[in-house]
A and B are shown apart, each in its own frame.
Chain A
């Protein structure tokens, strides 16, 4: 079945560091990828939508200069949290949709737990 790989699964780093998270579709072409953020005991909040080869569309309240998204190929999207601070600590999850025969419209990665000290 369709698989989405997200890397790294866990990051701990110092305040001010920039962190890059990768989201790969392993066996299908992901024309659209989504990035979500989930704080503890809360729901998933959509941050941005990215289509291959074009600029990402950010949801209201999400700083595009803070959360840089690149979707350069049909199998890879990256989220870079620039100059991360403790309030950016969260669970970041990507999902992908595209040209795959599946009974589900989106395929989620395993998520990345980001902890900023």
Chain B
């Protein structure tokens, strides 16, 4: 079945620094979505990427979808303490809304 791998599992970042989390799918995706989950909370939708090579920005967050629609990345610049949480990518292989979640990248920030 479809598998979505995500690295790194943990990211400890100095406040103000940048970091990137990467996702790779074993199959071509129709779209990939990114979610953020705070400790004790539920996943909160961040964005959906649909087109090959698509790049979208949300303030300090930059999301990319690979040309082959099998990989994606989330890059955060100038990390802040509010960025703490676990970031999940989730791939949809066919247009049936079923998502395969990556393992998540748990981000901690040191001031």
Contacts and interface: CB of A to CB of B under 8 A. Distances in A.
Interface of A: 32, 34, 41-46, 49, 60, 93, 97, 103-111
A46 B7 CA distance: 20
A105 to B, nearest CB: 6
A43 B103 contact: yes
A47 to B, nearest CB: 11
B43 A108 contact: yes
B100 A106 contact: no
Contacts of A43: 88, 101-104
Given A44-B101, A111-B41, A111-B42, 7 more contacts: A43-B101, A43-B104, A46-B99, A93-B42, A104-B48, A106-B45, A110-B41
A16 to B, nearest CB: 28
Interface of B: 1, 31, 33, 41-45, 48, 88, 90, 92, 96-104, 106
A34 B42 contact: no
A91 B41 CA distance: 10
A110 B99 contact: no
A13 to B, nearest CB: 20
Contact of B98 (A46, A107, A109): A46
Nearest to B92: A105
Nearest to B33: A105
11 contacts: A43-B103, A44-B99, A60-B1, A93-B42, A104-B33, A105-B33, A105-B48, A105-B97, A106-B99, A107-B45, A109-B42
A34 B96 CA distance: 11
The 10 A-B pairs of least Cβ separation, nearest first, read: A104-B45, A111-B42, A44-B101, A43-B101, A97-B97, A43-B103, A110-B42, A108-B42, A43-B104, A108-B43
A93 B98 contact: no
B101 A49 contact: no
Contact of A46 (B100, B103, B106): B100
A44 B97 contact: no
Contacts of B103: 42-43
Contacts of B96: 49
